[in-house]
Structures are given as structure tokens and as C-alpha cells.
Amino acid sequence: MSLDYNSLLLAVGFSAACLSLTLFGIWLTARSEKFLLTWAVSVLLVVADVFTYKAYIDAPGRMLGLATFALLLLGFSTMLGAAHQFTSGRSPLPRIALGAGISLATTLPPIALGYDGLGFMLENSFAALLLFATAYEYWKGRAESPVPIIGVAALYSATAVSFVLCAMVLALDGKLILGHAPSNWAEDLSLVTVIACMTGIGALSLALNQGRLAQHHRRNALTDALTGLLNRRALFDLHGGTPVGAFTAVVVFDLDGFKVINDEFGHATGDEVLKLFAEDLAANLRPTDVAVRMGGEEFALVLKRTLPETVEFTAERIRTAFAARRIETETRPLSCTVSAGYAFGSKEGMSFDKVLSAADKALYAAKRGGRNRVTAASAFRRAG
């Protein structure tokens, strides 16, 4: 092996080590992104493989050969698991077990038996397959952020092609026994490709993760932590600056006697009541509807492309479903009711604040009328 090859190999090792430390450091600050830890481990395994392979180059032997095969294929299998974890949020272990199990069971026996040439052909082939599979995992998740994810998939594919070339050169040479590490133009090209692609993959993946974290923080800022519904800020972000048309309705709900529930049964029971009502809201939504917790015991629905009878039916269904609930507490079963008021926009378009205010007035009318009922804002009711 030439000094240039050894230098490239060490460059791969040190670059991968830096990437692994960076990934681990980012994971420590964002532990919800578990794929970062899996990915950091996969890169660390590749680092260990680089330095083990360097030792094998200097003193070829079966034990070092087995170690370098095992570390590389286990590292790439773990990389595949990390990609699956990133795109699906599921455990990486099945992918790791499948990739490592098949590749190691196929590649280790030849080198253990002394057929290192055959072993290197198989190792490069399976390394390419694992990298292509990793690229495909990212490709499947490209809808999340097409440009960077397609870029990552392309770089993994390019790295896989470099391993294919290494396998092809060895196969064309036809030597089942080498007695030393492979030395050819494909090996040199592969190292250069790995250095370039690893840099690109690291940069794109870290940028992609930062984008995902930013979206996660924004989603948290727009979500009510107790019920999982959107919050008041999200409602006004979605509709505050848009005129409300004649076929869009806003329904405001308020739980009846909620302060008494908190005082008599405690805030934990009150929270449970709020979550159960949120479930009833969510269960009666169409894909175009938006459900929001406005604050306290007040909720709202925005229904688009709808008619007064549909709004009335939806609000009544939610009201009756909630009234039929029996909530077990430490003292006695509890039943609750809810009042609702709704209003429509206009043909000319009406400000969202004005429609919401009209729905609030209808809600107050429902409260004054005896509670546990749905009331329309008469000034905004359209003829059926």
C-alpha cells in the first residue's frame, strides 16, 4: 500500500471520528432524536474498522481480517438502522440484526478458511448493498424535505457504487486467495469517494435534523400540552388574517360548571375532563376541520365548506356524546355538560375576530338559556 493510500485511510478515520463526536454531542442536547445516537454508534464502528484495517494492511492475518469485516458490516448495518429510525421513528434493531446477520454469515466464513480474496469480494458487495438500502430508506422519507433527503440518498448511493467497483475489480482479477489487503485503483477511488460523500452526508443530515428540530419546536409552541389540540396562537396563525366566507363556521364550546368540578374533585379530575372533551371533539372532525383549545375550559371548532344544519348536527353530536360520559372519581361518578355557540362568515368575507365574537355571544346566550345546549348567532344565521 502506498503512503497516499494510508494517508487517505487515516483521513477517513479521523473525519469519521469527528463526525461521530459531533453526532453524539448533538444527541446530548436533543435526546428525543434517538437516531442521532444510533448514527453516532454506526460511524464509531466505521472508525474502529478503519484503524483495524490499517493494522491488517501492515500485518495481514485472519483475526484482523475477521475483525475488519465484522466492524465495517456491523457499522453499515447500524447506519441502515439509523436511516430507518430517522424516516419512520421505529426501532433500528430489526434492520441492524437483519443486515449484520446476513452479511456477516456470508462474508466471515471465507476469510476464516483462508480465502481472503473471496472474502473481500463479498465484503465489498454486502457493503454496497447495505449502503444502497440506506439510500432507499432516506428516499422513502423524501416527502419530509425533498432536496436534502434526496441529496443524502444520492451520496449514499455514490458511496455504494464505489464499493461495487472494488468488488468488480477483485472479481475480474479472479484471485480467491490474496494474502494481503487489496491494492488497486478502485480502492483508491473508494476512499476518495467515502471522504467526499461522508462530508456531504454529515452536513446535509445535520441541517436536516436542525430543520426537523425547528419544526418540532414550532409544533410544540402551537399545541396545547394537556389535550394535544392546537392552541389559541395556532388558531389565529391559521385564520386570523383570512376573511371568513359564508360557508365557514366557528363554533365555541365552554364546559358547564367547570370551576365547581375543580373545586369539588380536584384539578387532576378537571384535567381528565378536559382531555375527554378534547377526545370527543377530535372524534367528530372532518379532515378540513380544525379543533382548538382556546384556554381554560373553552374550545373552538372551525368548519369549512359547511352548512348551518351540518354545523348544528356536529355541535349537537359532540354535546350529547360528552353529556353521556360517566367519569369515575375517587368519591363518585361524575357527569359533565357543555354549551356551544356558532356563527358563520359572510359572502363578502368577514374578519375572523368578528365571527369569533359572534360565536362567543351565541355561547353566552346558550349559557343564559339553561346550558347544555347549542345556540346559533342569529345575526349570522344563513337561510337554509
Active site residues: 297
Q: Are 273 and 327 in contact (CB under 8 A)?
A: yes
CA 208, 36, 26 angle in degrees (round to 5)?
80
**Residue 181 has which C-alpha cell?**
489487503
Residue 175 and residue 181: Cα distance in Å, rounded? 12
> Strand ranges (DSSP E) for the chain?
230-231, 249-255, 290-295, 298-303, 338-344, 374-376
Largest CA distance in the chain: 93
**Residue 320 has which C-alpha cell?**
350529547
Q: Strands of 230-231's sheet, edge to edge? A: 230-231, 290-295, 298-303, 249-255, 338-344, 374-376
- Which residue matches cell numbers 472479481? 171
Burial of residue 7, with CB atoms counted within 10 A of its CB: 0-12 exposed, 13-18 middle, 19 or more buried: exposed
